[in-house]
């Protein structure tokens, strides 16, 4: 199953029909001088790699460092996340699931590509692909292996299916050796994939 992490740099012959139509429309509008491709690229990059995932990373970092906030997330994730200023489109109804030593959580949207934009930015291409959407449910361990995430056989994998009414955010386990880090430093360790469940947080470099 492909999971291209360089999500928006594709050749036209690799695009699905909808993406190809969007690319064609963008070309026409660019030729007419109505849009600036560089500006569009900047907006996409901001939502894909900065605004979105960084927001979610701050939510995770606060949960790691503040037990009261973590408890609030468990009880009412929508309100707890909105308290940090992260709400809006496709983030109105949130549920947070916490990884534990015994359970690993994985998020998918089997029907379409529902995704919490306000905390994770734009959905990656692989998240929207039919192979991921179908196989994540029937073979989650195999899918994770394709992301180079090999879990012990004793670890239970729980799959959460997002819908238009409810979207999920995974809080991964806090890495060891991070006791002295600030929330901002902790946020630097949180990856987009770890908040979907297809990856783990980064390991801090030795001091």
In a domain, 106, yes or no: yes
In a domain, 203, yes or no: no
Confidence check: pLDDT of 112 > 50:
yes
pLDDT by residue (tens digit) across 78-101? 999 999 988 765 556 899 999 999
- CATH code, domain with 135: 3.90.330.10
109 annotated as a binding-site residue: yes
Query: Which residue range forms the structural domain that includes residue 181?
Result: 12-196
- Is 65 labeled as catalytic in the residue annotation? no
- Is 129 labeled as catalytic in the residue annotation? no
Q: Which of 114, 118, 162, 194 is catalytic?
A: 114
Rounded distance, CA 176 to CA 195, Å? 18
Of residues 6 and 63, the one with the higher pLDDT is 63
- DSSP-assigned letter for residue 111: S
Rounded distance, CA 171 to CA 67, Å? 13
113 annotated as a binding-site residue: yes
What residue ranges in the chain does DSSP mark as E strands? 94-98, 103-108, 156-161, 167-171
Does pTM top 0.85 for this prediction?
no
- Is 118 labeled as catalytic in the residue annotation? no
Confidence check: pLDDT of 67 > 70:
yes
First to last CA, the chain: 38
Number of domains composing the chain: 1
Rounded distance, CA 19 to CA 57, Å? 29
> What pLDDT was estimated at residue 118?
86
In a domain, 28, yes or no: yes
In a domain, 133, yes or no: yes
In a domain, 201, yes or no: no
In a domain, 6, yes or no: no
**Do 49 and 123 form a contact (C-beta atoms < 8 A)?**
no
- Is 112 labeled as catalytic in the residue annotation? yes
């Amino acid at each position: 199953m492909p999971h291209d992490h360089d999500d928006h740099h594709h050749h036209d012959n690799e695009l699905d029909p909808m993406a190809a139509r969007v690319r064609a429309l963008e070309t026409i509008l660019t030729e007419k001088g109505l849009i600036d491709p560089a500006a569009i690229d900047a907006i996409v990059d901001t939502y894909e790699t900065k605004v979105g995932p960084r927001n979610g990373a701050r939510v995770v970092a606060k949960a790691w460092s503040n037990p009261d906030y973590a408890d609030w997330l468990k009880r009412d994730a929508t309100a707890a996340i909105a308290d940090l200023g992260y709400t809006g489109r496709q983030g109105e109804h949130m549920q947070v699931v916490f990884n534990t030593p015994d359970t690993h959580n994985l998020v998918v949207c089997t029907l379409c590509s529902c995704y919490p934009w306000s905390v994770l930015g734009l959905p990656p291409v692989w998240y929207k692909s039919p192979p991921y959407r179908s196989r994540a449910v029937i073979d989650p361990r195999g899918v994770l292996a394709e992301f180079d995430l090999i879990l012990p056989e004793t670890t239970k994998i729980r799959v959460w299916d997002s819908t238009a009414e409810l979207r999920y955010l995974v809080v991964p386990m806090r890495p060891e050796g991070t006791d002295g880090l600030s929330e901002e430093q902790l946020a630097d360790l949180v990856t987009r994939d770890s908040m979907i469940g297809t990856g783990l947080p980064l390991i801090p470099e030795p001091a």
